[in-house]
């Protein structure tokens, strides 16, 4: 189908919640994709942090295709092997104790919010249900996840929102200590605020927050939806900070391209949910988990070292570019503050010239596939440099 026809169909039949770029992606391999009209693009976006192994990684494709031909779905009424194996790997990797699988980041966060409240209810009774989140955070678009999101822009139109959330400024330890009270059951944080503009938390703040949580039996929930699955150069970003969360949520890159969400439960709350307290028809789907297994196997220590090396290389080159004011982030999750033009103007130039990038707030955001090669990085950075400098 040609692009004009596709755009006409899409505009007519798809609800207008996305402002799409003028690209119709048709095929992809690794960090390169092609549009329906034959144009080639270097991908610095990985489907917003999803295609951790790039487009159509051969091993990943084989695993999901094979599983689709063996058993595509049953239900959570029965046992299936890929789901149990993926949970085992996540537990072995993190030291957390149990896993619940859903289908998206927002859904994972809903699960963690429910689990924290259930843990507190079981132990302290009703009323200790408040969850502290950070200003400028993003936790998803379902109602509780939106309520948890600490940005006023997201709190319009859809009233009534879910009660029981309180927001404090990121990296303000005293504000956090003052905000936590008798009704607080959890603190939910992103280690790097992704949608908020690639804003990392400070080590001091994270460690003080973890200490407070441990002392007051407040569960520490880390939202690793964007930062997880190797994105920052560790399997989970919290590992950079030397803390042990009680609940971790993951999604995006964990599935390598199929919809997944996961809640990981630490020792304290591993039994917070009993049968019937939570669930999902599709959660733990065998095809999705077969892909997740390939992702997890691939992201070993050597792979993570590679992510950190690519990050250093990219950051080093970006720093030398004209009009780059500041670079934030870790691993292959980078925010670039520029002057002279807006991030969106730079994004437009990149798209027109064969590079897919993202923006977050007023920054350029780069989330390339973790498998991107040095040559592909160079090719993309050349376009980006022209976009920023021009
Ligand atoms: C930190 C964080 N949490 C949650 C979400 C929501 O994930 P999903 O879009 O899969 O529901 C996102 C999405 O960008 C995210 O970055």
Q: What is the pLDDT of residues 56-110, one digit of tens each?
A: 999 999 999 999 999 999 999 999 999 999 999 999 999 999 999 999 999 999 9
Same fold, 3-56+301-389 and 71-298: no
What's the rounded Cα separation, in Å, for the pair 230 and 288? 18
Per-residue pLDDT of the chain (390 residues; tens, 9 = 90+): 889 999 999 999 999 999 999 999 999 999 999 998 899 999 999 999 999 999 999 999 999 999 999 999 999 999 999 999 999 999 999 999 999 999 999 999 999 999 999 999 999 999 999 999 999 999 999 999 999 999 999 999 999 999 999 999 999 999 999 999 999 999 999 999 999 999 999 999 999 999 999 999 999 999 999 999 999 999 999 999 999 999 999 999 999 999 999 999 999 999 999 999 999 999 999 999 999 999 999 999 999 999 999 999 999 999 999 999 999 999 999 999 999 999 999 999 999 999 999 999 999 999 999 999 999 999 999 999 999 997
Give this prediction's pTM. Answer: 0.98
Assign a CATH topology to domain 3-56+301-389.
3.90.1150
Question: Residues enclosing ligand 1, CB less than 6 A?
Answer: 104-106, 109, 138-140, 190, 194-195, 223, 225-226, 251
Residue that is written with structure tokens 């199929």 in the block? 258
Domain spans, the chain: 3-56+301-389, 71-298
Atom of ligand 1 nearest to the CA of 145: 4
Question: CA triplet 190, 372, 291: central angle to 5 degrees?
Answer: 70
Q: What percent of the chain has pLDDT over 70?
A: 100
Task: Report the separation in Å between the CA atom of 33 and the middle of ligand 1, taken as the mean of its atom positions.
Answer: 23
What's the rounded Cα separation, in Å, for the pair 206 and 186? 14
Round the average pLDDT of the chain to a whole number and report it. Answer: 97
* CATH number, span 71-298: 3.40.640.10
Mutate to test the pocket of ligand 1, among 154, 251, 253, 262 (most ligand atoms within 8 A of CB): 251
In eight-state DSSP terms, residue 202 is P
337 torsion bin: left (phi>0), alpha (psi -120 to 50), beta (else): beta
What's the rounded Cα separation, in Å, for the pair 139 and 190? 8
């Amino acid at each position: 189908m040609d692009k004009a026809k596709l755009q006409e169909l899409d505009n007519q039949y798809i609800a207008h919640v996305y402002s799409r770029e003028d690209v119709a992606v048709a095929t992809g391999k690794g960090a390169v994709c092609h549009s329906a009209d034959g144009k080639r693009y270097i991908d610095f976006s990985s489907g917003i942090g999803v295609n951790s192994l790039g487009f159509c990684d051969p091993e990943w494709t084989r695993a999901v295709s094979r599983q689709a031909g063996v058993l595509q779905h049953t239900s959570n009424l029965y046992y299936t092997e890929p789901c149990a194996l993926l949970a085992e790997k996540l537990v072995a990797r993190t030291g957390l104790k149990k896993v619940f699988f859903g289908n998206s980041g927002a859904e994972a966060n809903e699960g963690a919010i429910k689990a924290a409240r259930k843990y507190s209810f079981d132990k302290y009774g009703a009323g200790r249900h408040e969850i502290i989140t950070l200003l400028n955070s993003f936790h998803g678009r379902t109602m509780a996840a939106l309520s948890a999101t600490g940005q006023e822009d997201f709190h319009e139109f859809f009233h009534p929102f879910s009660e029981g959330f309180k927001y404090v400024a990121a990296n303000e330890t005293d504000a956090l200590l003052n905000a936590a009270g008798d009704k607080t059951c959890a603190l939910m944080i992103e280690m790097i605020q992704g949608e908020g503009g690639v804003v990392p938390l400070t080590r001091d703040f994270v460690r003080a927050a973890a200490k407070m949580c441990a002392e007051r039996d407040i569960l520490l929930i880390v939202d690793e939806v964007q930062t997880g699955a190797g994105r920052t150069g560790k399997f989970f970003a919290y590992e950079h900070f030397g803390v042990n969360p009680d609940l971790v949520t993951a999604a995006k890159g964990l599935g390598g391209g199929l919809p997944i969400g996961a809640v990981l439960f630490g020792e304290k709350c591993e039994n917070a949910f009993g049968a019937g307290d939570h669930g999902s028809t599709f959660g733990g789907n065998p095809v999705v988990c077969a892909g997740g297994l390939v992702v997890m196997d691939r992201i070993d220590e050597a792979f993570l070292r590679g992510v950190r090396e690519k990050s250093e290389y990219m950051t080093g080159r970006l720093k030398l570019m004209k009009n780059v004011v500041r670079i934030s982030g870790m691993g292959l999750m980078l925010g670039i503050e520029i002057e002279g033009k807006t991030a969106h103007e730079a994004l437009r130039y990149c798209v027109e010239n064969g590079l897919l990038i993202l923006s977050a707030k007023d920054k350029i955001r780069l989330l390339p596939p973790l498998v991107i090669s040095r040559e592909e990085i160079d090719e993309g950075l050349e376009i980006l440099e022209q976009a920023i400098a021009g």
